[in-house]
Structure 1
Amino acid sequence: MPLLLRFTIAALVAATTLPVAADTDRERENLARLEHELALLTSEVRAAKADAPSIARIHFQYDELARDLDHIRAGIADHLDAPRHPRPIEPLKGDYRR
């Protein structure tokens, strides 16, 4: 097998077998950043509600928006707080005759 072909195959194998943990860590960092940004956005929504005119004909539903943002944040937090490894499960008995 030519050296260039061996090198190409080795490079492809190395590129496709990079540690999955690095991708997982990067995803967790991105989600944590999103959660933080949503917290900042939620405080901005509450400030906008305080500044909203009370005599407007149509009122924007700031409470609904804040509740939705909180719901999204909770989903991200649940994902971040989940165990990183599969939970152990009890093995099956396998013997059902008596």
Structure 2
Amino acid sequence: MLKPLLLIFTISLSAVASASNFAERESLAKLIHEIDGLSSLVDEAQGRANPDSRIRFQYNLLRKDLMMMKLGIQEHLDGPAIEPRNYAPLSGDY
């Protein structure tokens, strides 16, 4: 009797972890979309910058940092959605 309950509990935990994993991946995909949207704002800000200013904002470094964040998130998303797990074989009288 205990083994079927353990199996049901294990499957339930797996489903909860999978739903949570999907929600995280969805949020990370939204972050990538937001980072893409920031590119046009960076272009706009750079276009409005005073070229004669003594101190200039480093737009190239900002673009590089945004790209690094985007690539890091994308690398995580491109990885396996669920880590492989080893389960003990089921044995028992059914």
Q: TM > 0.5 between the two? A: yes
CA apart distance, 1:73: 0.4
Unaligned runs of 5+ in 2: 1-8, 85-94
Query: What's the counterpart of residue 50 of structure 2?
Result: 53
Query: What's the counterpart of residue 37 of structure 1?
Result: 34
- Identify the match of residue 59 of structure 2 among 58, 62, 84: 62
Query: What's the counterpart of residue 19 of structure 1?
Result: 16
Unaligned runs of 5+ in 1: 1-12, 88-98
Amino acid paired to 2:66: L
Does the 8 A contact of 2:21 with 2:81 survive in 1? no
Instruction: Give the alignment's TM-score, normalised by structure 1.
Output: 0.66
Query: What's the counterpart of residue 78 of structure 1?
Result: 75
- Total equivalences in the alignment: 73
Percent sequence identity is: 38
